[in-house]
Structure 1
Amino acid sequence: MSETPTLPSSFWEPVLALPSTAPKLRWYMCVLVSLSSLNYPDVIPQVYTHLNDHFFLSTLPHTDRFNTVRHLREALIKSTGIVGAGRTGNAIRCLASCIPVDLQETESPRSLESDETARKRGREFWTRIYARNRAFDPQASVRASPDYAFVVREVIYARILSFDGVIDDLTGYVVVSALYGMDCPNQLQHHMKGMLINGATREDLKDLQELCLGLASILGVTKRHGPAPIPELPMEIK
């Protein structure tokens, strides 16, 4: 069994320099998803320990602590739609091993909503990402396999990606982080465009690329494809 690599102190410098809580939490979420996607779940305890120490979780009210940890779990759950159940399962179990009992969930919020509600929300979410991207062919997946297209749109987007009970506008960061780990340049282009269309900036995408590729480099993960070009916002959207 190979040894668990230790993330160097220099890796943490960017998050310590971020100005406020929200971007810091987003940074940790993206790192967790990247580690899951890259198949390094055993590094996750280092991330949780760093967050715990620098977020001063023990000093926060229980509700704030629970919501912070809930965001970490939800990021991994959403990434299941990209990474798959195998790697996500390993990652979320590693995360759970770090979390105190009083911060664990005891029920599934997704199980409390109807299939109709989830599928309606999933279609709306799918439309927000792709409808204004003229380079995207919405029928390509249907031509390849109608059943695959159904699973993606009516299951993955409905039940996994579009769920907004914990994370809504951060979903794009989760998806793109997972896609970097999976080395999927075509899907990266479409989802980065989707982020731009929905309010992210090219600087946001550059920072995310630097984080994900930098982590892969530290872990010694080689990529088949080079860095995906950061797209421009489509002219018709500007």
Structure 2
Amino acid sequence: MRTPKLPCLNSSSDCLETLTKIAIEHSPELTKIDERIALAQQRIEVSEGRTEHARKKRWTNYLTLDPVRLISNLVGGGDVQRDNLAIANLEVRTASLEAQVSQLERRREEVKAQLSQEITGLILDYEKYTRREARVKEQISLQQTRQQVLEVGYRLGEGSTTQMLGVWEKQERLQEQLANIAANQDETKGKILGLVYGTNYQGGDSAISTGDSSSDRGTNAAEEPEYQNLEY
């Protein structure tokens, strides 16, 4: 199965809203919460139906030719007490289910807010690494120009070996910085994919590509999403 693409990868309000919406649709925890809410609501309907049926039928249950049962019913005992207790139990059950639904709905809103916050934070991190990448690339370009000039002079006997070693080492350090930035950027993009599509991604370019091919790059490793599913 082909890995889905991110529709955008920037901190504009439209992009953040789009990514959050997709993340909500693909969230395993939210799916589980919605299933539990639907199940609880079905049970509420059944419980309310049973309560209503018990209320409508209880008076017919009290008609009896047994004088002892009849007297017991008239004073609130016997069948009357049994039915009232059954109705009360059904009402308690309904109230408990309604409380569960309210709790699940609150948790659902919390998860949505958490997804939005985490996606926003990761997008800002990704843009931070992008800015750093641009700065280091500019430094590398300037250093390469300087290095080329010094190398020409070095071949002509100008400068010292120690000086050239320092120039080459600086170029290597800049390249190492660029590689580290790229790794952080790829890792961050993998985390965004994990949140947006509710799973983990790692691999080459297709694993973390966006609609903008100019900004695509492979990922070394995508960590698990920071939120965890709850057991209900």
TM-score normalised to structure 1 length? 0.21
Higher RCO structure (Cα 8 Å, ≥6 apart): 2
Whose helix proportion is higher, 1 or 2?
2
TM-score normalised to structure 2 length? 0.21
> Which of the two has higher C-alpha Rg?
2
